[in-house]
Amino acid sequence: MTKASTNGKGTVTLAATKKSKSDSKFTSCKITDTVKIGGKTFKVTAIGDNAFKGYKKLKTITIESKNLKSVGKDAVKNIHKKATIKVPKDKVKAYKKLFNKKTGFTSKMKIKKA
């Protein structure tokens, strides 16, 4: 969590998942627009460094957040080689700029509207 305060103002960075990298059932995940922490609601604005790195079975990431401002280094490195990242339809162009070689995104991966 970053820049959060007790009045519910602030933003959240998705840092990682609790799933084991060897969990063969972890093939998809959803990043919601907001999260509740301590009864307060915060916007998800970033995906942190190495957030999904090495989850080789992870084939689909659905991003519901329209507030995403950054994707960290190696965030999607070594996920399924033909992974699809689904994003809000009005954010496809912007999010294509966020997912690049630095984040681990490869030419075989796709970004599609959800």
Tokens of 34: 């907001």
Read off the pLDDT band of 5 (50, 70, 90): low
Q: What percent of the chain has pLDDT over 90?
A: 72
Q: Which residue has the higher pLDDT, 111 or 4?
A: 111
Q: What is the pLDDT of residues 68-88, one digit of tens each?
A: 999 999 999 999 999 999 999
Q: Domains of the chain: which residue ranges?
A: 19-33+49-113
Residue carrying structure tokens 């599609």: 112
Q: Are 13 and 1 in contact (CB under 8 A)?
A: yes
Helices (H), the chain: 92-98
CA–CA distance, 72 with 98 (Å, rounded to integer): 9
SS3 92: helix
pTM: 0.89
- 6-60: per-residue pLDDT in tens? 566 778 888 888 888 888 899 999 999 998 888 888 899 999 999 999 999 999 9
Helix (H, G, I), strand (E, B) or coil at 55: coil
Q: How many CB atoms lie within 10 A of CB 3?
A: 11
pLDDT of amino acid 10? 78
